[in-house]
Amino acid sequence: MQRLINLFIDSRAVVLKTIPFSDTSLICRIFTKEKGKISIMAKGAKRKKNLLSSVLECGNIIRLQYMFKENRDIQLLKEASLDYNIILIRKDLEKLLTLFSIIEILDKTTHPLNEAPILFRLINSTIKTLAVKKLNSKILYNFYLLHLAIQNGFKPNITNCSKCNTLFRDKIVLINGQLYCQSCDNFNSKLIHENSLSFIKKLMYTNINKINDLNVNDINLNSISFFLEDYIRYHIEGMNYVKSTSLLHKLSK
Ligand SMILES: [Zn+2]
């Protein structure tokens, strides 16, 4: 008989979703550095005077200790505290809706117990950057979408047409998750402009700490978001079920 593994784990995580369980407890879905997405039970967290319920709010970056049992769907939380203060995000509606979108996208596009330390690093640094004052959250949102696609193995080919291999210039179309030049498009698909594509290229090679310095004059950041969301929807299962993004787009109009 195989021995089941029980581990006491001290980790950092991002809270994806929290739901009440019984009169006093909470069940949270979190994304951890070591184990990827897991569910934890916080017993007694809903009791008055227990600060855990505010620690376990969606979008928080937390430090936690929990018992990990391999055969259990829900792990038992021992302790949790805030690892990073994101109060600035919660005071700003656009930042808050951006936070909910990036959190929900990660939640819907990942499977439980799929170790992905790079995705953890991406969500962790995205949230921390979002908390920076005067940060353009639209640039950051696009950065996140692009790097999420790349980390899942779907780096978009933004230099050549996927059909005829011609170098892109002027306008480009997205068909079935591939980028085509305008002459290869028989469907009159949605076009994206070359300057949006060069901006995506910049996002590919710019450090997250420097994205706010990028020049966004004449760049339609909303259309880039729509493009990247469409792109991910085609390649990554689960993106279709994301709802928060529609609220974010309503605000951006
Ligand atoms: Zn072509």
Centroid of ligand 1 to alpha carbon of 175 (angstroms): 11
Which residues lie closer than 8 Å to 198 by C-beta, 6 or more apart? none
State whether 165 and 59 are in the same domain.
no
State whether 181 and 117 are in the same domain.
yes
The domain that holds 211 is classified in CATH as 1.20.1440.120
- For residue 144, the surrounding DSSP H or E stretch is helix 137-151
Backbone angles phi, psi at 238, to 5 degrees: 105, -30
State whether 135 and 174 are in the same domain.
yes
Centroid of ligand 1 to alpha carbon of 50 (angstroms): 60
Centroid of ligand 1 to alpha carbon of 203 (angstroms): 24
State whether 61 and 111 are in the same domain.
no
State whether 66 and 106 are in the same domain.
no
Centroid of ligand 1 to alpha carbon of 167 (angstroms): 8
State whether 116 and 178 are in the same domain.
yes
Judge if ipTM > 0.90: yes
Give the C-alpha separation, 69 to 3, whole Å: 11
The domain that holds 41 is classified in CATH as 2.40.50.140
Q: Tens place of pLDDT for every residue, the chain, 253 residues? A: 567 778 899 999 999 999 999 889 999 999 999 999 999 999 988 887 778 999 999 999 999 999 999 889 999 999 999 999 898 999 999 999 999 999 999 999 999 999 999 999 999 999 999 999 999 999 999 999 999 999 999 999 988 999 999 998 878 888 888 899 988 887 767 778 888 999 999 999 999 999 999 999 999 999 999 999 999 999 999 999 999 999 999 987 7
Report the phi/psi class of residue 22: left, alpha or beta, with left for phi > 0 and alpha for psi in -120 to 50.
left
State whether 64 and 101 are in the same domain.
no
Centroid of ligand 1 to alpha carbon of 182 (angstroms): 7
> Structural domain of residue 57, as residue ranges?
6-84
State whether 161 and 243 are in the same domain.
yes
Cβ < 5 A residues, ion ligand 1: 161, 163-164, 181, 184
